[in-house]
Amino acid sequence: MATSSGGSRKLLWLLVVLVVIASSAAATALFMVMSGDGDDGKAMAQAPETIEHKAPIFVEIEPFTVNLADDDYGSRLLYAGISLKVADEQSQALLTEHMPEVRSRLLMLLSGKQAADLASQEDKRRLAEQVKAALEAPMVEPQPELAIENVLFTEFIVQ
């Protein structure tokens, strides 16, 4: 009986040592996974960059009515509302300060158009580019750079 008792003690100690080794290996693996060691380069490469949201700046021009150039159907009217998307507050301030001149330039540009020149989507895109060009001409000397990003038609009725 003494011999079997000694053999079972060795077996018990062997099992205890194996359990300790297995649990320490599991703890080490868990620590490596939780801490992210070894993946730092990949994790940094996969992390999306934070994009800073910048609120757009708009200058609204009150809607106005303009007589269009005569065509085959006689006199026609255009009722238009326009908003300008600008790049910075300096451009917004400049346009706001010179709003009577802005409206005058737009009225002069639009009064030379015929209703047929404003019918399609492409015609409106072309008109937006012409509006942008008309407003980028200097209003004062010297004028800081006027940065108009987009011309948006908020109302557009040809009658």
pLDDT at 121 over 60: yes
H helices then E strands: how many in the chain?
5, 3
pLDDT exceeds cutoff 90 at 57: yes
Determine the pLDDT at residue 1: 47
Q: How high is the pLDDT of residue 3?
A: 53
Q: CA-CA distances (angstroms) from residue 55 to 52, 85, 86, 103? A: 10, 11, 11, 25
Q: Which residues of 136-147 are buried (b: 16+ CB within 10 A; e: fewer)?
A: eeeeeeeeeebe
Higher pLDDT, 153 or 144: 153
Rounded Cα gap, residues 147 and 87, in angstroms:
5
Contact assessment for residue 71 and residue 77, using Cβ atoms and an 8 Å cutoff: no
Strands 77-86 and 148-158: antiparallel
Under the banding of pLDDT at 50, 70 and 90, the label for residue 77 is very high
Looking at residue 53, its pLDDT comes to: 82
Q: Which residues contact 16 (CB under 8 A, 6 or more apart)?
A: none
